[in-house]
A = this chain, B = another copy of it.
Amino acid sequence: MATIKDVACSAGVSIATVSRHIAGESVRRADDIARAIEALNYRPNESARGLRRGRTNLVGVIVPDISNPYFAAVIGGIESVCNAHGLRILIASSAESTDQELDLIGSLAPTVDGFVVVPVAESAASRSALVDAAVPVVLVDRTLGATQVFDQVRIDNARGSRAAARHLLDLGHTRVGVLSGPASALPGRERHDAFVAEFAAAGAPLDPSLVMHGDFTRTHGRNSMRNLLALAEPPTAVFAGNNLIAQGALQELRVREIEVPTHMSFIGFDDLDLAALLTPPLTVVARDTALEGQSAGELIVRRIAEPQRGLITEVLPVELIVRGSTGPAPGQHSLTHPQPTHR
């Protein structure tokens, strides 16, 4: 591997001059230096650079599960923006464990110029570890405690849930099941609360026995849907709090051969890759997951460049996509149901 010294020799200047040239300063023999760099295929040693400047050009990205398509899309967004700004992405999975998340923050902290984190839950330990890390931090999708100390990228969970609730209300549903995520995570809380609140505001408060809390997992979706179906009077519609919960619930509906939407309307939060190809195609509250990652990338880039800037919270929009899995409640005139938006 060629070093700056080799370049300096080859170009007949001192290493200081080469360093300046690389830093963009104007030097007399810039051409010779450029030629030497080219000829030797010289690349500055990042370790030496990092040691000297105290910066590594590395951003640590910690997510609960890399294989989840949602997180994968977010990572993709982060990567494209950061790479365009010369920042490398260090990926690590907390494997849905706050303990592991804490370890990762601690061990990555001295190595990275900044963090982009999708926290597992609202862990005070993780929050203070990130504060101790003393580098810029951007939180995506979830928060770490009520008082904001980091930049954030979130989506408008409340609006999405309200739109879903509104849609079901318009279709005449009043007996609605809710498969919520954990209250320990912001999206779980916000989606749940807004959905329930919208029904209450419409004068049709939901039956609490139809509200199931659980993790963001297929298992929760499947088991809770099973429980709902076992009820003496099952709901006429179900709202699933995220993509995994929806998958589990759909699995159960499929096994039980429940007709959707004839006997049960279904709406999920988060779009699925094949949602439009299911029978019936799935009605969902969707968001731009790649954009979420890009926004996070832009925030961390900016924050690293200007650490003193005021805290930023970016709230991205969501969209109700009405496909075919939601229909009028039994006994409703089909005329009243909204026109599907085909996508």
Contact = CB atoms under 8 A, between A and B. Distances in A.
Contacts of A106: 41, 43
A51 interface: yes
Interface in A115-166: 132
Given A45-B110, A72-B67, A111-B46, A277 B290 contact: no
A197 interface: no
Contact of A67 (B58, B61, B76, B111): B76
Contact of A43 (B51, B65, B73, B110): B110
A230 interface: no
A301 B47 CA distance: 21
Interface residues of A, number: 54
Contacts of A71: 72
B67 A91 contact: no
Contacts of A272: 273-274
A279 interface: yes
Oligomer: number of copies: 2
B273 A69 contact: yes
A326 interface: no
Interface stretch (A16-24, A82-90, A177-185, A200-208): A82-90
Nearest to A86: B107
A262 to B, nearest CB: 14
A48 B51 CA distance: 6
Given A48-B51, A92-B89, A109-B43, A66 B75 contact: yes
Contacts of A61: 91
Interface stretch (A168-176, A247-255, A311-319): A247-255
Contacts of A95: 80
A126 to B, nearest CB: 16
A93 B76 contact: yes
A1 interface: yes
A221 to B, nearest CB: 12
Interface string A265-285: 000000011111111000000
A109 B276 CA distance: 42
B111 A88 contact: yes
A284 B190 CA distance: 38
Q: Which 8 A-B pairs have CB atoms at the shortest separation, nearest pair first?
A: A47-B50, A72-B72, A279-B279, A66-B76, A67-B76, A47-B51, A274-B274, A67-B73
